[in-house]
């Protein structure tokens, strides 16, 4: 079966016929539902009424298991939900500097997922206030009228003690294995931080490698079969961001492990983010899909340049038309695409292209 589609495009002074041929008799292969991942910044909305309803709807829509990723799972605070903010108070210290662990809020978040047969993509971050090398200011009160950079406060800094950081991850993973069962916790994906190549990480790339090594060592010490990956950097289509991803992969393959002193670090999947760049041109929104596709293409290319990692899955941990989910249309008119069918059409088109790029490069 061959289908011929003809579209007539009429311009002001001329007409042009475009013919599109679709060969329906030649199968490409199964369409894998790689889009069953969702994420958000504010983890404390998870167990509220509307949060539970939305998660239930997402789980019901998907023919396969849905994975959910949230920021701020280790951020210090009282659990108040706010824009671009969340907290679990998982780690504090007593007057003598001894760690105090409290998994109450983190458990509420994971319980909500598991009750809906979802699985967490566990983001190990951000930095607890008691561990941050720059603990003040810590809590931000951002709104869309303020500069986006105002969100990067004390939670974005490296730990003052990497040993305590690694032990925090160990204690968390051990707790999850005990509460939910080793097999369940091992079936999750774990990642270290979010977009450490931009303001979310106030350390150097090398300090991120150290952060990753200590986190991976702690996780694997508690749960050797757990799957950990990274760096979940963003925009590898840009040269600097591409270098960050490549340097991280070089470190995990051939670098000296900061936690163990051995060569290389555990890596069970490769993660990066890809965003589009919409803008208003002559009163209309142009989506800028080329920027997102360029990042995906370059990310795949960098991953494929390491033969040692050829067998690993790749998770595009954030794959969005643009990178400012909390920004309002009032201050960012190009984000008006969200209020119509352009959003869904763009997303469907992008997933088809992702499959094409993966088939071509991986």
pLDDT digits (tens, 9 = 90+) for 211-222: 999 999 999 999
Give the model confidence (pLDDT) of 224-258 as tens digits.
999 999 999 999 999 999 999 999 999 999 999 99
Please check whether the domain covering 36-361 is classified as CATH 3.90.950.20: no
| Banded model confidence at residue 94, pLDDT cuts 50, 70, 90 | very high
Domain map (residue ranges) of the chain: 36-361
Burial letters 73-82, b for 16+ CB under 10 A, else e:
bbbbbeeeeb
Give the phi and the psi of residue 32 in degrees, each rounded to 5.
Answer: -75, 135
- pLDDT at site 113: 98
Say if CB 299 and CB 249 are below 8 A apart.
no
Task: Provide the whole-model pTM.
Answer: 0.92
Length of the chain: 362
- pLDDT at site 8: 43
Q: What is the mean pLDDT of residues 255-282?
A: 97
| Banded model confidence at residue 6, pLDDT cuts 50, 70, 90 | very low
- pLDDT at site 14: 55
Cβ neighbours of 103 (radius 10 Å): 17
Dist CA 98 CA 167 (whole Å): 12
Torsion sign (Cα): 229, 235, 241, 242: positive
Coil/strand/helix, residue 8: strand
- pLDDT at site 92: 98
- pLDDT at site 3: 44
Task: Report the percent of the chain where pLDDT is more than 70.
Answer: 96
Dist CA 267 CA 232 (whole Å): 12
Give the model confidence (pLDDT) of 309-329 as tens digits.
999 999 999 999 998 878 888
Q: What is the mean pLDDT of residues 288-293?
A: 95
Q: What is the mean pLDDT of residues 23-43?
A: 87
Element containing residue 124 per DSSP (H, E): strand 119-124
Q: Which residues contact 354 (CB under 8 A, 6 or more apart)?
A: 34, 296, 316, 319
Taking 70 as the threshold, does the pLDDT of residue 9 lie above it?
A: no
User: Two tokens at 39?
Assistant: 């994420």
């Amino acid at each position: 079966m061959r289908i011929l589609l003809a579209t007539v495009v009429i311009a002001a002074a001329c007409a042009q016929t475009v013919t599109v041929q679709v060969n329906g008799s030649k199968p490409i292969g199964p369409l894998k539902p790689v889009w069953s991942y969702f994420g958000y910044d504010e983890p404390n909305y998870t167990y509220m009424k509307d949060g539970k309803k939305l998660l239930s709807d997402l789980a019901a829509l998907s023919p396969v298991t849905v994975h959910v990723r949230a920021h701020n799972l280790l951020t210090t605070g009282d659990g108040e939900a706010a824009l671009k903010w969340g907290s679990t108070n998982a780690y504090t210290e007593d007057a003598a500097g001894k760690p105090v662990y409290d998994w109450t809020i983190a458990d509420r978040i994971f319980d909500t997922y598991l009750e809906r047969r979802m699985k967490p993509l566990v983001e190990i971050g951000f930095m607890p206030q008691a561990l941050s090398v720059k603990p003040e200011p810590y809590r931000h009160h951002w709104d869309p009228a303020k500069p986006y950079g105002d969100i990067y406060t004390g939670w974005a800094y490296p730990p003052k003690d990497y040993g305590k950081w690694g032990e925090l991850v160990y204690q968390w993973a051990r707790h999850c294995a005990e509460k939910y069962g080793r097999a369940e916790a091992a079936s999750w994906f774990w990642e270290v931080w979010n977009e450490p190549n931009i303001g979310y990480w106030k350390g150097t790339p090398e300090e991120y490698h150290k952060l990753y090594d200590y986190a991976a060592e702690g996780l694997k010490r508690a749960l050797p079969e757990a799957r950990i990956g990274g760096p979940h950097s963003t925009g590898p289509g840009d040269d600097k961001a591409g270098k960050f991803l490549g340097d991280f992969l070089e470190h995990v393959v051939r670098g000296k492990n900061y936690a163990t002193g051995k060569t290389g670090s555990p890596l069970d999947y490769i993660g990066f983010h890809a965003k589009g760049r919409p803008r208003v041109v002559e009163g209309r929104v142009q989506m800028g899909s080329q920027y997102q596709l360029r990042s995906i293409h370059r990310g795949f290319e960098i991953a494929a340049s390491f033969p040692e990692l050829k067998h690993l899955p790749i998770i595009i941990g954030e794959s969005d038309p643009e990178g400012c989910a909390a920004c309002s249309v009032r201050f960012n008119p190009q984000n008006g695409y969200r209020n119509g069918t352009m959003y869904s059409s763009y997303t469907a088109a992008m997933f088809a292209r992702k499959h094409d790029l993966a088939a071509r490069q991986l």
